[in-house]
Amino acid sequence: MRITEKLLAATVDAATDMLKFNQPADGVLSTHFKVDRTGSHDRAFIAETAYAVLRRKRLLDRLAGPGATPRQLVLAALVRLQGCNQRQLAEAVSARELEWLAQFKAQSEPELTLAEQADLPDWLVARLLGRMGADELLAMARGLNQPAPLDLRVNPMKVSRDETLARLKADGIEAEACRYAPMGIRLKGRPSLSRHPLYLEGKIEVQDEGSQLLGHLLQPKRGEMVIDFCAGAGGKTLLLGALMRSTGRLYAFDVAEKRLAKLKPRVARSGLSNVHPVCITGENDIRVKRLAGKIDRVLVDAPCSGLGTLRRNPDLKWRQTPESVAELTRKQADILAGASRLVKAGGRLVYATCSILPEENEMIVDAFLATHGDFARLSAVDMLAKQGIDMDVGQDLSLLPHTHGTDGFYAAVLERSK
């Protein structure tokens, strides 16, 4: 591919804004494309290259040297990671930059630290080494540093997975059944589906396979009272509603009205009639207290560092800090305790995050169980096996990209005895 001066400049602009880490990278890119209306092919190049800089920033910083500019990091990514040669870049760069690139390519390979090999910040590597060896950490980091595939979930209220696969094939879209999730489909590429009839008719939703498995851990039944406690835009809410066959009552709680607003058209498209979005002020909201002890199943997909989603959101590893994680763990403990009061005797609670840090995951659950003797852990692997989902995930669900091909997810299944 021939890279023009204009295309390189647009890529550098996007990467420069992303590297400020003032807001999520996908939001930066969306704003950039609204201003710079490039074609789809150029957009793909800009996005792929800018995200490569974020994913491999630690390595690129080391190779490009102290004080490397965003433009130099982009050039380094193109040469080192994207396989571009100097001929492809010749008309986009200056003579001085061509000389810099020649020196960059000719330099001997430096000895990298473990954090540089993993492309992770030092503090995160130190914490992960507390739970795994260096080899496993590098394997996980390689998985997290790969772009995520595009997963879909079929809406069983409207279509079967086999019918959907056949339709996608007929439309020239390569896809296969997900390895674990019974309703999941993994696409080979990243086609735009926002105007595809399957999407417009509410027959499919975009949802990572790991996220889909959380619904099967909660396993809501027809006619039950269920709460998705941190519903966000409602991807998991829609799955729970489908598993309930649109019966019973399904509350979608969230503190952000804007997020819940995005759920409403998705519910309408899905055909579900049992979903009730509710904006709450927090776990102590009066509307939460009124339902205490009345709910059959509660899903707490807690706000977290998001470090399990680095395939999609590589900027998070540079935006999160030990201090931000500490603040999140306090929120997680409060949310879990508040949500647990909703569960009736014999009811089930699933606590989940998309984090890879023990302090956001099992340590939160362990601390909760130490002070809530009326709750007990259930086996996640047994729960899934009973639904025909055969996977070795341990007592608590622990998913990692290099092992399961999903985002990093954690979930604990808890049951209230009295």
Q: How many helices (H) and strands (E) does the chain have?
A: 21, 12
Residue type at position 303:
P
Q: How far apart are the first and last CA of the chain?
A: 65
Set 84, 178, 230, 354: catalytic member = 354
Query: Which SS3 state, helix, strand or coil, does residue 186 take?
Result: strand
Q: Residue ranges of the alpha helices (H) in 341-400? A: 362-371, 380-385
- Contact in structure between 308 and 357 (CB atoms under 8 Å): no
User: Residue 195 burial (CB < 10 Å; 0-12/13-18/19+)?
Assistant: exposed
- Cα–Cα distance for residue pair 401/403, rounded to 1 Å: 5
CA–centroid distance for 174 within its chain: 22
Q: What is the CB neighbour count within 10 angstroms for residue 222?
A: 11
Look up 354 and say whether it is catalytic. Answer: yes
**Dihedral pair phi/psi, residue 381, rounded to 5°:** -65, -40
| Sign of the Cα pseudo-torsion (131, 132, 138, 139, in order) | negative
**Dihedral pair phi/psi, residue 324, rounded to 5°:** -70, -35
Which residues have a catalytic role annotated? 354
